[in-house]
Amino acid sequence: MFNPVNLANADWDTWKKTLGQAVGFAEELGISKQKISSLAQQAGDLLAQDVTPANPEQQAIKELWDVAEPEERKVLATLMTRLVS
């Protein structure tokens, strides 16, 4: 099962690859892009609250997440899923 907390400790390329595989699997199951983005936003909330960034890229995403309004977080989550798709 996809666990965003375990993934948080990965290097940037591994993180993107694993997230891309999770997004691809969700798409194969017929989950809508909107639902995938919603799940990504929930994972982002969890990571931002409970996980120390493991690399500079994750730190930048966390800093953006921390200052973003809820609608902006939705956009960031959508962009992250698009980045890895």
Model confidence band, residue 75 (pLDDT cutoffs 50, 70, 90): very high
Task: Report the number of distinct structural domains present in the chain.
Answer: 1
pTM: 0.82
Contacts for 18-25 with beta carbons within 8 Å, 24 or more apart?
19/80, 19/81, 19/84, 20/84, 20/85, 23/81, 23/84, 23/85, 24/85
Q: Give dist(CA 74, CA 85) in Å, integer.
A: 17
**What pLDDT score does 66 carry?**
96
Residue 6: pLDDT over 90: no
The predicted-structure confidence for 20-43, as pLDDT tens digits, reads as follows 999 999 999 999 999 999 999 999
Whether pLDDT at 81 is above 80: yes
Mean pLDDT in residue range 47-74: 93
pLDDT for position 45: 92
Full domain range(s) for residue 14: 4-84
